[in-house]
Structure 1
Amino acid sequence: MTPLEARLAALAAAGETIAYGQIARDLGWTMAQLTSSLETLMEADAAAGKPFRAALLRQRLSPDRLPAPGFFQKAAELGRPTDDPAAFTEAERTALHLCANIPG
C-alpha cells in the first residue's frame, strides 16, 4: 500500500475528507505528483468496480466540499455518471466509509 493509499484508507475509516494541498504537503509531494497518483488510483478503482478513493479529497475553498473538476472529468472518462456532482460525491464517499468499516 502506498503512502497515499494508506492515508486515504485512514480518511475513509474516519469518515473524513482532506484538501488537495494539505495531503500533498503531508506526503511531501507536488500537486502534479498527487494528481497523477490520484488518476492512477481512479483507474484501478474503476477496473476493480470499487468507489473512487479520490472522492475523499476536496477543494480547499469549495463551500460544498466537492473534489476538483478534474475528478469529475476523470470519473466520466471511466464511465461513471457525474451529472449531479454533489450526489455522485456523496455516494462515493458513503460507499468508501462503509467499505472501510466492514471487517473483511
Structure 2
Amino acid sequence: MPKITFVQPDDSRQTIEVNDGATVMLSAVSNDIRGIVAECGGSAMCATCHVYVDPEYVTRIPPVSEVENEMLASAASERRENSRLSCQLVMGNGVEELVVRIPPRQV
C-alpha cells in the first residue's frame, strides 16, 4: 500500500497509507491534513493544494504538465523547482512512497 508523508511548515510529520490511484490532494483532505485547501476539488484550477516534493522523490513522479505549470505560477507561496499541485500526484504505478512539504500558505 502506498504511503505519503506530509511535512508541515513547523516540521511536524504525518504519514498515511493510501490506495493505488489515490491523489495526494484527496488523500490529504480525507485524512484532515492541515494546509491543503483544495478549493477546486482536484481539477488543477486553483493551486491551493501546492506542495514541495522532497528532492529524493522528484524523479519518481511524472513531470509537470503544461496546465499544472501555469497554475503553479499563481501559487500563494514561493514556487520552487520541486513545486507540484498535489491533485496531480497519483500514488501507485511505481509511486509507492512520497514525502511532500506543505507551504506556509495556500491562499
* TM bracket (short chain): 0.3 to 0.5
Q: TM-score, normalised by structure 1?
A: 0.33
More helix by share: 1
More strand by share: 2
Q: TM-score, normalised by structure 2?
A: 0.33
